[in-house]
Structure 1
Amino acid sequence: MSSRVVITGMGVAAPNAVGLLNFEQALRNGESGIRFFPELKQLNFTCQIGGKPQIPEDLLKKYFTPLQLKGLNSSGIIYGVISGTDAWQDAGLEIDENAPADWDSGIIFGTGILGTDKFREAIQLIDQGKTRRLGSTSVIQTMASGISAYLGGILGCGNQVTTNSSACTTGTEALLMGFERIRSGQAERMLVGSCGDHGPYVWGGFDAMRILPGKYNEKPEEASRPLSASATGFVPGSGAGALLLEDLDSAVGRGAKIYAEVLGGEINSGGQRGDGSMTAASNEAVERCITRALKNSGISAGEIDVINGHLTATNRDSTEILNWTRALGRRGNEFPFINSLKGMTGHCLSASGSIECVASVLQMEKGFLFPNINCEEVHPEIQELISEDRIPKKKIDTEINILAKASFGFGDVNAVAIFKKYTP
């Protein structure tokens, strides 16, 4: 096997678009998928908006049998199956339920909280003494590995099939875990990604923490403002993203399309020591994660063209930029271009890393930078660190050779992945 790992397929179910072509168009146009939810108003949420993929009934029937749809009440599984199946087929791989297990292909598909609505439904039935009415899928819809189990059965993967969970770092971590499995020779292909449920039972805790914006309920598309001086908190979102990673020899041997190469990356934790905590990343850990990602990928700081940041539209945005400048030793107009998808999708929590990895690779493959919407006025602390023209306000057509994607999660956990434009 080659020591090189490439991306041969992608799929996405994001708040602003479902499907790869639709998603690319939404990125180019800077389209927001953040909407007002009357249910949140009825429940007295301060923040009554969020990001939720729009999945019509006829689309559901393309991915699930009538039997599978019966009693299906887990939005995360729905988003994950759509994006994962799309990535598999986008890679030119077949789905044949009569074929034997594919021992060379595996799945690492993460989540944070799965099946919250199914849990609520189950709790109500159990409390009413109606346990027998739970249905045969209540367990698989509420276990964390339900998403990888669904995909494993649909695709017939016989290699490692598992689920990871590391808060907002989940998707990027899954990608790096799959990368390492291929690099170690234990698999030829790994479907990697992450998903997250939507709704009040997922978003309520964040509303209680008062870290969501409450003054944009009547203008939801303006609410998520990464890097901006007027940012007042992150908008919660949901969805899923998926990427098919493959050993280069395997991809070339079957004539697969190659989107980009994964050079490597780093996963670490700050241990909640020093300035790190359960909810805030250790600055030292973030800097170490970035520098180790570069070392592991065999590149220098000066080679990075673009950063797709974590950048949630909170007061941590300026701290994140500071950490990047320290780790890269680049400031002002020497700093790479940087953008955040969360202005368009909100913060999709456990799904954010994978959706943003898909967006990052699309930028690289298609040669453009999507805009940082709602960032009319850059935060003054960020202006002191980097030139404002490093933060695109409109789509820019440009060649991208190397892109760094970062995710930082609750629990003081970090992941940075390095993508490179593919050259034979």
Structure 2
Amino acid sequence: MEKRVVITGLGVVAPNGVGLDVFTHAIKNGISGIKHDAELERLQFSCQIAGKPEISTELALQYFSELELRNFNSTGILYGVIAGIDAWKDAGLTLENNEEPDWDSGTIFGTGTSGIDKFRESIYKIDDFQTRRLGSTAVAQTMNSGVSAYLGGKLGLGNQVTTNSSACTTGTESILMAYERIKLGQAKRILAGSTSDSGPYIWGGFDAMRVCTFKHNDAPEQGSRPMSASASGFVPGSGAGALVLEDLETALARGARIYAEVLGGNINSGGQRGLGTMTAPNPMAVQRCIKNAIANAGIHPNEIDAINGHLTATSKDGLEIQNWSEALERKGKDFPYINSLKSMVGHCLSGAGSIESVASVLQLDQGFVFPNINCDDLHAEITALIDESKIPKELIKKELNIIAKASFGFGDVNGCVIFKKWKAA
């Protein structure tokens, strides 16, 4: 018999808030975490603004020992471990140093790259014949599975411990992979999430592609403009989101707080065929992903109350709205509410799907639709399809039952997950 899967813990490290309380306050009030970045200016980037979480040494020492932080400069692992442990604690689970691993619990925690700054340091030190000065954690910081390995060790996880990687779809994919494993009874709980390093060595390639905005260096908070007619590219961001997924029976037995239920979802690819390319989504695949997610969740398209979209503030925002409208067969005032967290945090790349999923679950749990900022001038392609009232610019306090969260990533890969508000019987 397949298990029902619920969410019992949340953790977040975002440009506009580290920790659930600060993050919730920020998204409810449309507070941006995008700031001027002096290093990007020094390096003569076209885009000199970014969304970067602020982590003090004092905060880092609550999660790592002084010895662990020696020669440590992997921001992605730092963000992921903080978000992951916070989610674990939020779920009411303990960090016991037992002799035996927790065979029922694991983690699927994704990333795009890991330890880019450590790689750079390695190149310079190796070329200068200083290999031994790299430190004993160089491998752990630079292997892609570093974040899941750190979490696995800190939490004593004995089930699957792995890292997935699917560009911007990574976080959404990790949730669906965890959901499937629990549903099939192969684990009782999985810490799902994703993270992204920050800094010029992560963001430089996007600046070179000219997909980042360069028009708002003097007004950072206005730079990320999803669905806006004056959008001129995305703002690079970073951070991590984490969710504890658990089978319902186990969660109820231990009296856990339940935020939401994962009803199902879908992952697919456009194969870079048709209109799909390395950087552009295949509309047929996007619509198919949404439709199959709804079918897998066992709901009707009309039951979706809100969408948390991918919506990056590029020329593809209008196409995304069109894909949603056609897949759901809903338009005008019948279209669900839709919002983009990227208006406040930028595009957190491999961390985006999980951070945005945390925001989606918070909306279900607390009954609100967070505002979109910087889109007073909605693009005509979008307003031709859906009513402007469905793109809220102020906080809406409203009970929601079902939210669809989707990510559409580089490589023409897609993920859509369906969350439902938890209501105790």
TM bin, normalised by shorter chain, reads over 0.9
Hey, what's the Cα distance between the residues in 2 that align with 1:123 and 1:380?
Answer: 48
The answer as to whether partners of 1:229 and 1:380 remain within 8 angstroms in 2 is: yes
Match of 1:164 in 2: 164
Q: Secondary structure at the match of 1:168?
A: helix
Q: Secondary structure at the match of 1:291?
A: helix
CA offsets 1:39-85 (integer angstroms, 9 cap, x no match): 11111100001000011111111111111111111000000000000
CA offsets 1:361-409 (integer angstroms, 9 cap, x no match): 0011000011000011110000000000000000000010000000000
Hey, what's the Cα distance between the residues in 2 that align with 1:98 and 1:49?
Answer: 45
Match of 1:8 in 2: 8
CA offsets 1:328-358 (integer angstroms, 9 cap, x no match): 0000000000000000000000000000000
Match of 1:184 in 2: 184
The answer as to whether partners of 1:164 and 1:170 remain within 8 angstroms in 2 is: yes
Hey, what's the Cα distance between the residues in 2 that align with 1:406 and 1:352?
Answer: 10
RMSD over equivalenced CA pairs, Å = 0.7
Shift of 1:216: 0.6
Shift of 1:98: 3.3
Match of 1:125 in 2: 125
Match of 1:95 in 2: 95
Amino acid in structure 2 at the alignment position of 1:255: G
Match of 1:263 in 2: 263
Hey, what's the Cα distance between the residues in 1 that align with 2:234 and 2:174?
Answer: 23
Amino acid in structure 2 at the alignment position of 1:189: R
Q: Secondary structure at the match of 2:157?
A: coil
Q: Structure 2: where are the runs of 5+ without partners? A: none
Hey, what's the Cα distance between the residues in 2 that align with 1:355 and 1:218?
Answer: 26
The answer as to whether partners of 1:2 and 1:249 remain within 8 angstroms in 2 is: no
Match of 1:330 in 2: 330
Match of 1:145 in 2: 145
The answer as to whether partners of 2:343 and 2:374 remain within 8 angstroms in 1 is: yes
Q: Structure 1: where are the runs of 5+ without partners? A: none
The answer as to whether partners of 1:109 and 1:193 remain within 8 angstroms in 2 is: yes
Amino acid in structure 2 at the alignment position of 1:286: V
Amino acid in structure 2 at the alignment position of 1:422: W
Match of 2:319 in 1: 319
Paired residues for 1:346-357 under 5 Å: 346-357=346-357
Match of 1:411 in 2: 411
Hey, what's the Cα distance between the residues in 1 that align with 2:94 and 2:324?
Answer: 41
CA offsets 1:156-206 (integer angstroms, 9 cap, x no match): 000000000000000000000000000011000000000000000000000
Match of 2:85 in 1: 85
Shift of 1:123: 0.7
Hey, what's the Cα distance between the residues in 2 that align with 1:343 and 1:254?
Answer: 38
Hey, what's the Cα distance between the residues in 2 that align with 1:360 and 1:228?
Answer: 21
Match of 1:58 in 2: 58
Hey, what's the Cα distance between the residues in 2 that align with 1:134 and 1:393?
Answer: 49
The answer as to whether partners of 1:2 and 1:248 remain within 8 angstroms in 2 is: no
The answer as to whether partners of 2:71 and 2:134 remain within 8 angstroms in 1 is: no
Q: Secondary structure at the match of 2:31?
A: coil
Paired residues for 1:189-200 under 5 Å: 189-200=189-200
Shift of 1:99: 4.4
Amino acid in structure 2 at the alignment position of 1:366: Q
Shift of 1:97: 1.9
Q: Secondary structure at the match of 2:307?
A: strand
CA offsets 1:8-55 (integer angstroms, 9 cap, x no match): 000000000000111100011110000111111111100001000011
Hey, what's the Cα distance between the residues in 2 that align with 1:15 and 1:38?
Answer: 16
Hey, what's the Cα distance between the residues in 2 that align with 1:84 and 1:164?
Answer: 15
The answer as to whether partners of 1:369 and 1:396 remain within 8 angstroms in 2 is: yes
Amino acid in structure 2 at the alignment position of 1:408: F
Hey, what's the Cα distance between the residues in 2 that align with 1:277 and 1:137?
Answer: 37
Amino acid in structure 1 at the alignment position of 2:154: I
Hey, what's the Cα distance between the residues in 2 that align with 1:336 and 1:122?
Answer: 49
Hey, what's the Cα distance between the residues in 1 that align with 2:15 and 2:132?
Answer: 35
Match of 2:233 in 1: 233
Match of 1:292 in 2: 292
Q: Which moved more, 1:284-293 or 1:65-74?
A: 65-74
Q: Secondary structure at the match of 1:231?
A: coil
**Aligned residues, how many?**
424
Q: Secondary structure at the match of 1:159?
A: coil
Amino acid in structure 2 at the alignment position of 1:386: I
Match of 1:34 in 2: 34
The TM-score, its normalising length taken from structure 1, stands at 0.99
Hey, what's the Cα distance between the residues in 2 that align with 1:116 and 1:397?
Answer: 41
Shift of 1:215: 1.4
Q: Secondary structure at the match of 1:331?
A: coil
Amino acid in structure 1 at the alignment position of 2:383: Q
Match of 1:376 in 2: 376
Hey, what's the Cα distance between the residues in 2 that align with 1:99 and 1:389?
Answer: 56
Shift of 1:292: 0.1
Hey, what's the Cα distance between the residues in 2 that align with 1:359 and 1:180?
Answer: 22
Hey, what's the Cα distance between the residues in 2 that align with 1:321 and 1:131?
Answer: 51
Query: Identity over the aligned pairs, expressed in percent?
Result: 64
Amino acid in structure 1 at the alignment position of 2:410: F
Q: Secondary structure at the match of 2:326?
A: helix
The answer as to whether partners of 2:260 and 2:421 remain within 8 angstroms in 1 is: yes
Amino acid in structure 2 at the alignment position of 1:150: Y
The answer as to whether partners of 2:375 and 2:393 remain within 8 angstroms in 1 is: yes
The answer as to whether partners of 1:364 and 1:421 remain within 8 angstroms in 2 is: yes
Hey, what's the Cα distance between the residues in 1 that align with 2:106 and 2:164?
Answer: 14
Match of 1:202 in 2: 202
Q: Secondary structure at the match of 1:381?
A: helix
Amino acid in structure 2 at the alignment position of 1:384: A
The answer as to whether partners of 1:2 and 1:247 remain within 8 angstroms in 2 is: no
Shift of 1:2: 6.0
Aligned: 1:24 with 2:39: no
Amino acid in structure 2 at the alignment position of 1:228: S
CA offsets 1:260-282 (integer angstroms, 9 cap, x no match): 00000000001000000000110
Q: Which moved more, 1:90-99 or 1:188-197?
A: 90-99
Shift of 1:134: 1.2
The answer as to whether partners of 2:84 and 2:151 remain within 8 angstroms in 1 is: yes
